[in-house]
């Protein structure tokens, strides 16, 4: 009798578990797919919502729930989601961060789900930012973030300075000479009224890392399958160039030390700065929308040091490993990142689209807004040697940004900054060392 009761009890428990599993599976597959977007500019938010609405109209059986996230809170939100299992099905972020998520096992390998058309149309340099050595793809790149130099055309004409062209780009020495000529003390009171250049250096690690490639630098090297940081002559040359412009030549505005690139734009409008150096290409949107009516400006091709090669970072769409609906999520990703929709997102975010078919559209070859110059820089974009370095995100916040801030505030020398970056970087990175493949 006891045996019969035990068998019946086990059977009831099994039925209950099966019912619970079936209910949860049905519930997870019937709810809308959750899409977390980090769009922040009004036009881009509107474009995202419009695309989601179009999808929902075409696919009433597979609706998308649009969730507005923020860049400031995204990391904490996603880490909590990964750990609890309550994940969005699709999320928007950036390549340098999702690399860390992939190495920690949080992301779905999307390579089996990518269509041949998408694979061939998205630029190789964009794929390199999200593809592991074993071929796993951690996210689909769709916007390429690049650094540009913006200049005041009226000031250039007044000083008879010919701006660079794609065929004849400027070197850093050309930039320094022009910045010196454009720096003015109009009333001879010993106070500079107009600076030739301005850098937004408050959190300068991204600018320095991506620009160092053109100087032949990399900061990060791989030793015995592990990453180390070394600051050699090439890296020091870039740092010394900026320090010289700030304090020796005094042609770069010291106010930029505590400001972001966006924070320098009002001074650009007012004539305080003739050039904004190393600002993201997205800065053009603020100029188009907010500049004074008679303000005339232009975009320079990448500055040449040893080469014109700069580091590329991409914005991406990824699918968490704990999402139960990867195939459905990829169907939506293919839709929102088709040629038409990727172009809409890129135009509204004022960044380079990752698709070749988008770059061939007339909108991205237009002189208005500097699209032609900005997009011509695609051939000069590469991937930094720090790609896949475990701890890179922590390194930027704990080592690079603080030490560079001290350097540009003239509290330490270039040599001291180099020594500190090497010493403090390798302390941080040593905590991330592990056996086997790191990326």
pLDDT score recorded for residue 151: 98
Please compute the mean of the pLDDT values over residues 196-216 and round it to a whole number. Answer: 96
Average pLDDT for the chain? 91
What CATH number has the domain spanning 147-311+388-430?
3.40.190.10
Q: Is the pLDDT assigned to residue 3 strictly greater than 90?
A: no
Strand order in the sheet with 90-94: 64-68, 33-37, 90-94, 313-318, 140-145, 352-353
pLDDT tens for each residue of 215-258? 999 999 887 778 899 999 999 999 999 999 999 999 999 999 99
Residue 349 C-beta-side C-alpha neighbours within 13 Å: 26
Please compute the mean of the pLDDT values over residues 366-377 and round it to a whole number. Answer: 95
pLDDT score recorded for residue 73: 94
Which residues on neighbouring strands pair with residue 317, listed in sequence order? Answer: 92, 140
Q: Alpha helix locations (H) across 230-353? A: 233-243, 265-270, 283-290, 326-336, 339-349
Fold of 31-145+313-382: D-Maltodextrin-Binding Protein; domain 2 (3.40.190)
- Cα 369–chain centre separation: 20
Q: What percent of the chain has pLDDT over 90?
A: 81
pLDDT tens for each residue of 138-177? 999 999 999 999 999 999 999 999 999 999 999 999 999 9
Which residue spans within 321-427 are E strands per DSSP? Answer: 352-353, 381-382
pLDDT tens for each residue of 378-394? 999 999 998 888 888 89
Widest CA span of the chain, in angstroms?
107
In angstroms, the CA 49 to CA 336 distance is 11
Q: Is the pLDDT assigned to residue 16 strictly greater than 50?
A: no
Q: Is the pLDDT assigned to residue 433 strictly greater than 90?
A: no
In angstroms, the CA 330 to CA 320 distance is 12
pLDDT score recorded for residue 12: 44
Confidence bin at 429 (pLDDT 50/70/90): confident
Residues near 318 by Cβ (< 8 Å), separated by ≥ 6?
A: 90, 91, 93, 98, 101, 107, 108, 110, 138, 139, 140
User: Identical fold at 31-145+313-382 and 147-311+388-430?
Assistant: yes
Please compute the mean of the pLDDT values over residues 314-331 and round it to a whole number. Answer: 97
Between 18 and 124, the more confident residue is 124
Place of tokens 């690399």: 99
Confidence bin at 437 (pLDDT 50/70/90): very low
Q: Where are the domains of the chain?
A: 1-28, 31-145+313-382, 147-311+388-430
E strand or H helix that includes residue 50:
helix 42-58
pLDDT tens for each residue of 29-83? 568 999 999 999 889 999 999 999 999 999 999 999 999 999 999 999 999 999 9
């Amino acid at each position: 009798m006891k045996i019969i009761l035990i068998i019946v009890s086990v059977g009831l428990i099994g039925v209950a578990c099966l019912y619970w599993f079936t209910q949860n599976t049905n519930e997870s597959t019937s709810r809308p797919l959750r899409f977390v977007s980090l769009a922040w500019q009004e036009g881009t938010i509107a474009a995202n919502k419009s695309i989601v609405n179009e999808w929902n109209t075409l696919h009433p059986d597979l609706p998308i729930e649009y969730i507005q996230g923020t860049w400031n809170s995204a990391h904490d939100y996603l880490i909590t989601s990964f750990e609890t299992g309550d994940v969005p099905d699709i999320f928007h972020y950036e390549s340098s961060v999702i690399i860390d998520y992939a190495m920690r096992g949080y992301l779905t390998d999307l390579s089996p789900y990518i269509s041949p058309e998408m694979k061939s149309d998205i630029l190789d340099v964009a794929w390199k930012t999200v593809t592991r050595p074993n071929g796993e793809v951690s996210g689909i790149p769709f916007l390429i973030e690049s650094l540009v130099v913006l200049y005041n055309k009226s000031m250039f004409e007044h000083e008879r300075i010919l701006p660079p062209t794609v065929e004849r780009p400027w070197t850093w020495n050309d930039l320094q000479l022009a910045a010196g000529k454009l720096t003015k003390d109009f009333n001879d009171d010993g106070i500079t009224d107009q600076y030739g250049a301005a850098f937004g250096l408050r959190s300068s690690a991204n600018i320095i890392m991506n620009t160092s490639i053109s100087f032949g630098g990399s900061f990060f090297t791989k030793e015995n399958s592990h990453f180390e940081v070394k600051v050699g002559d090439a890296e020091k040359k870039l740092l010394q160039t900026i320090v010289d412009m700030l304090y020796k030549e005094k042609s770069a505005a010291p106010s930029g030390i505590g400001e972001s690139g966006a924070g320098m734009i009002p001074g650009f409008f007012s004539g305080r700065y003739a050039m904004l150096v190393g600002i993201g290409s997205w800065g053009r949107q603020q100029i188009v929308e907010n500049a004074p009516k008679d303000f005339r400006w232009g975009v320079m091709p990448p500055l040449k040091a040893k080469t014109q090669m700069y580091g590329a970072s991409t914005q991406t769409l990824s699918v968490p490993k704990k999402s139960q609906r990867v195939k459905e999520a990829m169907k939506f990703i293919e839709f929102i990142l088709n040629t038409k929709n990727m172009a809409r997102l890129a135009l509204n975010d004022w960044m380079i689209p990752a698709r070749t078919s988008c770059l061939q559209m007339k909108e991205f070859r237009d002189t208005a807004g500097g699209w032609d110059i900005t997009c011509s820089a695609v051939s000069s974009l590469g991937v930094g040697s720090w790609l896949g370095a475990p701890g890179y995100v922590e390194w930027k916040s704990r080592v690079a940004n603080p030490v560079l801030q001290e350097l540009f505030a003239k509290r330490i020398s270039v040599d001291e900054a180099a020594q500190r970056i090497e010493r403090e970087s390798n302390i941080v990175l040593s905590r991330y060392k592990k056996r086997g493949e790191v990326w």
